[in-house]
Amino acid sequence: MKKPVFSLILCLFIKTVIAVEGMWIPTLLKKFNIEEMQKMGFRLSAEDIYDVNHASMKDAVVLFGSGCTGEVISGDGLLITNHHCGFGQIQKHSTLEHDYLSDGFWAKNRSGELVNPGLTVQFLVKMEDVTLEVMQCVNSDLAEDTIKKVIAANVEKIKNSYSGTEKYLVDVKPLFYGNQYFAYVYEVFKDIRLVGAPPVAIGKFGGDTDNWVWPRHTGDFSLFRIYAGKDNKPASWSPDNVPYRPKKFFPINLKGINEGDFTMVFGFPGTTQEYLPSQAVRLLIEKSNPNKVDARTVKLAILEKQMAKDPKVRIQYSSKAAGVSNAWKKWQGETKGLIRLHAIENKELEELEFSKWVSQDAEREKKYGSILSDFKKYYAELSEIQVAYDLYNETVLRGSDVFGLISRFSLMRQAIHDTAKFNKQKKSLSDYLPVYLKDYDRETDQLLLPALLKIYFERVDPKYLPEKLNSLKSAILNSSYVLSAYQKSLFSDSSKIKILCRDYSPKTQKKLQKDALFSLFATLSDHFTKNIEPSYQILGQQILKTQKIYMAAILDMKKGERIMADANLTLRVTYGKIEGFEPMDGVYYQYFTTLKGMMEKNNPAISDYVVPEKLKSLFLSKDYGPYSNSTGEVPIAFCASNHTTGGNSGSPVLNANGELIGVNFDRCWEGTMSDVLFDPERCRNISLDIRYALFIIDKFAGAGYLLDEMNLIR
Ligand code: ARG
Ligand code: GLU
């Protein structure tokens, strides 16, 4: 009796870390990863994941919009992604009469599916290493500017070489800071319709309070359908379009998951920076993150108060507030995680090793000898400019709605001598105006602007503030100036804005110059463009150039080893295991959550935690259908050790057989530093258990007819 118990305990203690860092390139899996993946349990081949000549998993994964992933789950182009990825669309279709945010939306049939102008999805047709072609005629004797021109011309040539009879989108992107290049060919679909979305109380359950946090009970999914022309090719919206017939769609596994199971995530991770020097990490931890966080703390406090007061404001600002809050919380987790990992000190140690390696060889000295001192010099210069740059973006350009709108008017001002450009700006402004006004609340915005400008004037080094405003500084700091400018401004009155936009002509210029709010923006923005942006750009270029050489040196130093490339919003594979983690000493988080836990969080007094009545009654009557787990509970989410980042939202989470078991939607807060430094012990991605999505569609929404087109593996 005793022995097995003992060895079980021993097993738990010596459990090796099996997380695999890295977001891997689909065409290189065979060379670098497939063997390891199979050792971890994967039962398919590299060709099953990516193949140009036969249908493979890549044909069922899309870039959804401009920054999420989605996957096809039926032969009729049905697509699943996150609720937060479709949030903008769901919100745009919502009004007080049809409040799809609060009530959810389920198209009764295909004709009830809602059109989303501007939304696209992109399938990767193929990708190819084009490094040699991009680098043709580039050599180190050329001046930096010339190199850029040669590369740009080569990239153009490559893009043109792909244009066949069919219309594809071709993109050429650098990897390893431009030490390697890949060309990506995409088929872009433009008629994407909303099929279904649960109410916010499910799709965003836990709201911004639980965002980034495990344990999680968010039903973060929404359904769309891809439409194509009768020839199954991309087409602009038309009533004659038909559901797209994909080359491949994912079967859905209802049999459930276990700790230790192999998982892979296949999607479009946006940005990681795993090769930053210590100075960059220091700037992030000590200045960039804290300043941006503080600005957003002020903004969020105002938004939350206003949204709680008025249901109309809640609808108008919910999408904006979610966006503001998301990065705000991530930056805090990232800072904390980096400090805990002693990231700066560790990078410094690595740099010491690096210099030793460089100094061993005269040739290396020549090529790489100045990298570290260059970084040191550039980052020292960047520090204060970075503060001005970050806070300009957070508080001036993107702080309030009104300055956002004025910045668009100001583009017209700049285009005034170029009729074609002017008309284009005017058209884009008049298209934008209704969208702006629908979600604009004057009272809220009037609170935001002065509060945010106050931070800008408090924190930015006076040498980066316009002298012209010196005499107003104290009135800006106590808000009186900004408030009175706002109240008197043309931009606080929607009918005046409409007329201004309609009748905009060169004469309007004079009128605008007299508007105190407009001229405040113009002064700040002109000063930024003349005195902050140029130095920021120049330093940025120098840093990038150094980073490219640093990267080349690392590749050289680690020649023969498997080296991961940073994410760049292209299709990648990451793999790991389903596993819980220890977020802090003395606490172990198990790998899954259930409906029971959601009921425990239920709290009518906190808007983030109100469980819908219908869900409560399903829970009480245990009406779970085939969607419960082995202990009879409905599973909601699970965590696993896949290295993911922003952009992976909505990505398919697949089991060893390539069947869909979940939809990725978040990372655990304790692991959000993984964009800079991955910790296999604490970095976990969070996925919706696919059984919960089906349970909600079928039992909660009564939209079980949607399941008929899926391939369910029971
Ligand atoms: N943290 C997730 C991501 O980075 C989800 C964001 C949406 N959810 C929210 N509550 N704001 O995008
Ligand atoms: N929610 C993120 C997204 O929208 C995924 C979470 C992450 O950053 O890993 O892509």
543-596 per-position pLDDT tens digit: 999 999 999 999 999 999 999 999 999 999 999 999 999 999 999 999 999 999
- The helix or strand, by DSSP H or E, that contains position 285, with its residue range, turns out to be none
Which residue out of 220, 374, 666, 675 is catalytically annotated?
Answer: 220
In short, whether 665's Cβ falls inside 6 Å of ligand 2 is: yes
Find the 163 Cα to ligand 2 centroid distance in Å.
33
User: What's the pLDDT score for residue 505?
Assistant: 83
Tell me the average pLDDT of the chain: 94
Ligand nearest to the CA of 70: 2
Find the 539 Cα to ligand 2 centroid distance in Å.
29
Find the 671 Cα to ligand 2 centroid distance in Å.
12
H helical segments located in 23-139 = 29-32, 34-39, 46-49, 83-92, 100-103, 131-134
Residue 220 bears catalytic tag: yes
Find the 19 Cα to ligand 1 centroid distance in Å.
23
Find the 675 Cα to ligand 2 centroid distance in Å.
11
Closest Cα to residue 446, out of 488, 386, 477, 414?
488
- Give nearest CA residue, ligand 1 atom 5: 666
User: What's the pLDDT score for residue 509?
Assistant: 83
**Cβ atoms of 182 and 127 closer than 8 Å:** yes
Return the number of other C-beta atoms located less than 10 Å from residue 709's C-beta: 15
Residue 417 bears catalytic tag: no
Ligand nearest to the CA of 84: 1
pLDDT band at residue 165 using 50, 70 and 90 as cut-offs = low
Atom of ligand 1 nearest to the CA of 646: 4
- Give nearest CA residue, ligand 1 atom 6: 326
User: What's the pLDDT score for residue 9?
Assistant: 41
DSSP string, 429-461: HHHHHHHHHHT--HHHHHHHHHHHHHHHHHHS-
How far apart CA 171 and CA 183 sit, in angstroms, is 6
Domain range summary for the chain, segments of one domain joined by +: 5-125+190-273+566-713, 278-554
Which residue in the block uniquely carries the two structure tokens 């919910």? 318
| Whether residue 8 has pLDDT greater than 50 | no
Closest Cα to residue 126, out of 209, 185, 180?
185
**337-377 per-position pLDDT tens digit:** 999 999 999 999 999 999 999 999 999 999 999 999 999 99
User: Computed from CA positions of residues 405, 649, 324, 541, in that sequence, does the dihedral angle turn out positive or negative?
Assistant: negative
In short, whether 84's Cβ falls inside 6 Å of ligand 1 is: yes
Closest Cα to residue 374, out of 596, 551, 539, 519?
539
In short, whether 334's Cβ falls inside 6 Å of ligand 2 is: no
| Whether residue 602 has pLDDT greater than 50 | yes
**93-121 per-position pLDDT tens digit:** 998 899 999 999 999 999 999 999 999 99
User: What's the pLDDT score for residue 432?
Assistant: 94
Where would I find the beta strands (DSSP E) of 176-258? 180-189, 191-197, 222-228, 242-243, 252-253
Which residue out of 400, 410, 525, 649 is catalytically annotated?
Answer: 649
139, burial (CB in 10 Å: exposed 0-12, middle 13-18, buried 19+) = exposed
pTM of the model: 0.92
Where would I find the beta strands (DSSP E) of 74-179? 78-81, 105-106, 114-115, 121-129, 169-175
In short, whether 648's Cβ falls inside 6 Å of ligand 2 is: yes
**321-337 per-position pLDDT tens digit:** 989 999 999 999 999 99
In short, whether 198's Cβ falls inside 6 Å of ligand 2 is: no
The 8-class DSSP code of residue 532 comes to I
User: What's the pLDDT score for residue 20?
Assistant: 87
Closest Cα to residue 647, out of 7, 40, 84?
84
**Dihedral in degrees, nearest 10, Cα atoms 600, 603, 604, 608:** -110
User: What's the pLDDT score for residue 261?
Assistant: 97
**Dihedral in degrees, nearest 10, Cα atoms 591, 595, 598, 600:** -100
Q: Which of 455-469, 505-519, 566-580 has the lowest mean pLDDT?
A: 505-519
Atom of ligand 1 nearest to the CA of 323: 11
| Whether residue 166 has pLDDT greater than 70 | no
Joined together, the tokens standing for residue 550 give 């640093």
- Give nearest CA residue, ligand 1 atom 7: 84
Ligand nearest to the CA of 569: 2
In short, whether 649's Cβ falls inside 6 Å of ligand 2 is: yes
**646-703 per-position pLDDT tens digit:** 999 999 999 999 999 999 999 999 999 999 999 999 999 999 999 999 999 999 999 9
In short, whether 650's Cβ falls inside 6 Å of ligand 2 is: no
How far apart CA 521 and CA 117 sit, in angstroms, is 31
Residue 217 bears catalytic tag: no
Q: Between the CA of residue 709 and those of 213, 214, 477, 625, what are the distances in Å?
A: 33, 32, 60, 18
Closest Cα to residue 213, out of 329, 362, 129?
329
Atom of ligand 2 nearest to the CA of 69: 10
How far apart CA 272 and CA 692 sit, in angstroms, is 30
Ligand nearest to the CA of 323: 1
**419-437 per-position pLDDT tens digit:** 898 888 889 999 999 999 9
Which residue in the block uniquely carries the two structure tokens 């004709």? 111
* β-pair type (61-64, 121-129): antiparallel
What is the fold of 5-125+190-273+566-713? Answer: Thrombin, subunit H (2.40.10)
Give the mutation target among 85, 665, 670 for probing the ligand 1 site: most ligand atoms within 8 A of CB.
665
Which residue out of 83, 84, 217, 643 is catalytically annotated?
Answer: 84
In short, whether 655's Cβ falls inside 6 Å of ligand 1 is: no
User: What's the pLDDT score for residue 18?
Assistant: 63
